[in-house]
Amino acid sequence: MPKNYSLEHAAGLERAGELKSRIQDYLDIEASIETGFRAKERSWKNKDNIMKYFNAKESDWNNWGWQMKHRISDVQTLKDLIPLKDFEIEEIAEISRHFRWAISPYYLSLIDIADYKNSPIYKQSVPDIRELQDDSGYEDPMGEADTCPAPTITRRYPDRLIINVTNQCGMYCRHCQRRRNFEQKDTHASMANLVLALDYIRNNKEIRDVLITGGDALMLSNSVLDWLLSELDNMEHVEIKRLGTRTPVTLPQRITQELCAVFARHEPLYINTQFNSPLEVTPEAKKACDRLIKAGVVLGNQAVLLKEINDQPHIMKKMNQELLKIRVRPYYIFHAKQVKGTAHFMTSIDTGLDIMENLRGYTSGLAIPTYIINAPQGYGKTPLLPDYILALDDEELTIRTWENRIIKCDNSPDQQDDKNLAATGK
């Protein structure tokens, strides 16, 4: 027993050692898990090479308009920045004839160029020939076309809805649930359709929560965002506004002081973003999140469970812990949707449940999101959990703890009242 510890601490020390042993497998590999902060020097070297290629200055790199103008969207440019093999060039060229793709220079800089095929950044952003070989999925697995009561609106729940404002993104994720909307050019919703959407919300006073998304909501100009949020602010029944954006992850330069000044005028405002890898949690992402938080925005993360990207418990745990360090609350892990062209990203549901099993009790409750499967055809989110309730009747609950201990708990209110009376001597 260590010095300065009395015998009364013996049981506690024994239990502490037992608890430490439960995460020893994670401790053994934690230092080898790459994060955006650990890989920052490699990313900054890539950044220098990309800037030289485009003859850009630091001020260009930090300008989101420059980033958008210089998105990599053709294989000829990509091969100049990544040493693609001939067959990969041919495959990407073939996919380009069917599916649109684009990568911001910033997001490209996060790829490990020396091992690009295994990079979770590369896999999310660069087309894969398997996109053309997948006949198992659906163009619109969520049935959004059938849950659209007004232009640009998707409504799946009694008190909340979505406004789809654009098909534009800083980077087109290869696993995107709305890849059917990529088309061949960036298109924002027309002002006329946005007015109709606002009229629908105004006339349906049960709507208390509005999510503005796309595409990426932050591809709209500051002035349009300010107008939309102001219109919603003026509807007394709309209690909160939410924005769906991946720009803190793929284009943090978009989070400008001017944009945050707009957001500061429209509380309560929530942003859910989508970090899928600890490599995406970078100093640049932290700066963007810091600005949003200073403006009063509440941040959450909606990860997508993706094969060979984040489908290992230790990877997901590390990512969620990194997110808490930059004040982004892990909110959901979405089971990947059956979108045509994305089957190579799909995992089994057992994989997701195993991840949840290895989060509960093994890390902070704040780092544990809800694992969600979206019911097909727009019937909403359904949470999935490992089985912790083993038996339940009017008298007793039998549970399995995170350590697989089987424990019985009293479930009789009458017995509880009798015990409380006895304890007080009444």
pLDDT of residue 416: 55
Determine the Cα–Cα distance for residues 43 and 51; give it in Å rounded to an integer: 12
Q: What is the mean pLDDT of the chain?
A: 93
pLDDT of residue 426: 45
The helix (H) or strand (E) run that includes residue 304 is: strand 298-305
Lowest mean per-residue pLDDT among 330-334, 352-356, 371-375: 371-375
The tokens for 213 are 């998304």
Mean pLDDT of 106-127: 98
420 pLDDT above the threshold of 50: no
CB 71 within 8 A of CB 102: yes
What's at 33, amino acid-wise?
I
pLDDT of residue 3: 65
312 pLDDT above the threshold of 50: yes
Strand, coil or helix: what is 425? coil
Which among 375, 357, 301 is positioned nearest to 333, based on CA atoms? Answer: 301
20 pLDDT above the threshold of 90: yes
CB 35 within 8 A of CB 318: yes
CB 185 within 8 A of CB 134: no
Name the DSSP letter for residue 187: -
Domain definitions of the chain by residue range: 40-128, 144-384, 389-424
Give the CA angle between residues 394, 395, 399 to the nearest 5°.
95
Q: Which residues contact 400 (CB under 8 A, 6 or more apart)?
A: 387, 388, 389, 390, 406, 407
CB 92 within 8 A of CB 86: no
Question: Which pTM does this prediction carry?
Answer: 0.94
CB burial class (10 A; 0-12, 13-18, 19+) of residue 320?
A: buried
pLDDT of residue 208: 98
Determine the Cα–Cα distance for residues 297 and 274; give it in Å rounded to an integer: 16
pLDDT of residue 218: 98
> Ramachandran region of residue 152, left (φ > 0), alpha (ψ -120 to 50) or beta?
left
58 pLDDT above the threshold of 80: yes
Counting every residue, how long is the chain? 426
The tokens for 109 are 């800089």
CB burial class (10 A; 0-12, 13-18, 19+) of residue 193?
A: middle
Secondary structure of 118-142 in HEC code, one letter for each residue: HCHHHHHHCCCHHHHCCCCCECCCC
Give the CA angle between residues 7, 9, 10 to the nearest 5°.
70
Which among 237, 89, 214 is positioned nearest to 144, based on CA atoms? Answer: 214
Q: What is the pLDDT of residues 197-251, one digit of tens each?
A: 999 999 999 999 999 999 999 999 999 999 999 999 999 999 999 999 999 999 9
Determine the Cα–Cα distance for residues 181 and 215; give it in Å rounded to an integer: 8
Determine the Cα–Cα distance for residues 200 and 237; give it in Å rounded to an integer: 13
pLDDT of residue 179: 81
Which among 291, 297, 251 is positioned nearest to 272, based on CA atoms? Answer: 297
Q: What is the pLDDT of residues 160-178, one digit of tens each?
A: 999 999 999 999 999 998 8
Torsional sign, CA 69, 70, 72, 73: positive
Q: Which residues pair with 382 in a beta bridge?
A: 373
Q: What is the pLDDT of residues 247-277, one digit of tens each?
A: 999 999 999 999 999 999 999 999 999 999 9
Rounded to whole angstroms, what are the CA distances from 413 to 137, 302, 419? 49, 38, 10
CB 235 within 8 A of CB 202: yes
Percent of the chain predicted with pLDDT > 90? 85
The CA R_g of the chain, rounded to the nearest whole Å, is 24
pLDDT of residue 376: 80
- Given this structure, which CATH class describes domain 144-384? alpha beta
Mean pLDDT of 14-37: 96
Phi and psi at 304, nearest 5°, equal -110, 130
Determine the Cα–Cα distance for residues 233 and 226; give it in Å rounded to an integer: 10
Q: What percent of the residues of the chain are helix, what percent strand, and what percent coil, each to the nearest 5?
A: 45, 15, 40
pLDDT of residue 412: 85
**Residue scoring higher pLDDT (38 or 419):** 38
Mean pLDDT of 189-196: 97
Q: What is the pLDDT of residues 318-350, one digit of tens each?
A: 999 999 999 999 999 999 988 888 999 999 999
pLDDT of residue 421: 42
Lowest mean per-residue pLDDT among 39-48, 117-126, 127-136: 127-136
CB 146 within 8 A of CB 377: yes
CB 54 within 8 A of CB 394: no
Name residue, tokens 């004040």.
327
Q: Which residues contact 370 (CB under 8 A, 6 or more apart)?
A: 331, 332, 333, 383
Name the DSSP letter for residue 114: G
pLDDT of residue 424: 46
Name residue, tokens 């007080």.
424
